[in-house]
Structure 1
């Protein structure tokens, strides 16, 4: 597996992957309930126009997109509700997705570790992430990496509770 910054020709397949993964989460709001969210996922390449923002992709040996994540070296670009965007000396990552075909191969963990390493390189003191009940499967992975629940980062997005986690670096 190779993890690197996504190239523009990969933005469309990554966007489709994000829509596929998030829309398949049981109980997660669908495209009719949160059309703006799904539009953002589909056009994920546009997020790279924000300052301090990178779209990272995990590729197989055959250059297949295995998964992706958006990394923020400065929380002011993070784009969440709650207090996360006011955190200083902090990085964050969002919108982590792994193609179902490649699950169980360490792709999500690899993308998370790539973000943690980048946060250290960027000289930040912590890394912040958010998740929902529908993504609880990933919580144990985050906790094994050292993330701790941080209720001060929680917020509600259109009636959907979103839970904050942080990792001190």
Structure 2
């Protein structure tokens, strides 16, 4: 397996990461298409804008060849998480959203590497929990989160238009 580096994205990479996000999410079976949720896809396209929020980082998985093969947005303060439901009211918590791995890079463990970096960051700042959301269309990620110790948190569930979004919580302390 080639070595991958997890690091913060550079502003010059934001547009390409946005394209990766749109590609990945638009190909999910059972996930709303761009025509159904244009605002959501605009958020994906402009993923770098999240870095304008305090304690928010866009992390990337970079291959040995320098190519970005995955990304995730980490929130050190849930106030800026930007989801529906009650997640933004969680205290002593960090979160991550919008995890994507390029189709050609799947099966290399990059989703897990990005998730473990988010866990490391949350622990390093003494957060008591890490919050995430997933959908039925993201079953592969859902199973990975559960293997890493995340538990379903129905209190964090919400609807994104017609799409049920399911909350997960990892207790860190």
TM-score range, shorter chain: over 0.9
Is there any run of 5+ residues in structure 2 with no aligned partner, and where?
Answer: none
SS at structure 2 position matched to 1:109? helix
Whole-angstrom distance in 1 between the partners of 2:41 and 2:150: 27
Counterpart position of 1:84: 87
2:74 to 68, 71, 76: 71
Query: What whole-Å deviation, never above 9, does each CA across 1:50-102 have from its counterpart, x for those lacking one?
Result: 11110000000011011000000010000001110000000000000000111
1:99 to 97, 102, 126: 102
Are 2:58 and 1:18 aligned? no
TM-score by length of 2: 0.96
Counterpart position of 1:27: 30
SS at structure 2 position matched to 1:58? strand
Are 2:147 and 1:151 aligned? no
Counterpart position of 1:51: 54
Is there any run of 5+ residues in structure 1 with no aligned partner, and where?
Answer: none
SS at structure 1 position matched to 2:131? strand
Q: Tell me whether 16-25 or 43-52 shows the greater mean CA deviation.
A: 43-52
Whole-angstrom distance in 1 between the partners of 2:53 and 2:35: 26
Root-mean-square deviation (CA, aligned residues, Å) is 0.6
2:167 to 154, 164, 167: 164
Whole-angstrom distance in 1 between the partners of 2:104 and 2:16: 14
TM-score by length of 1: 0.99
Shift of 1:137: 1.5
Are 2:132 and 1:129 aligned? yes
SS at structure 2 position matched to 1:76? helix
Whole-angstrom distance in 2 between the partners of 1:92 and 1:145: 15
Whole-angstrom distance in 1 between the partners of 2:151 and 2:38: 31
Whole-angstrom distance in 1 between the partners of 2:169 and 2:17: 25
Shift of 1:136: 1.2
* Aligned residue pairs, count: 169
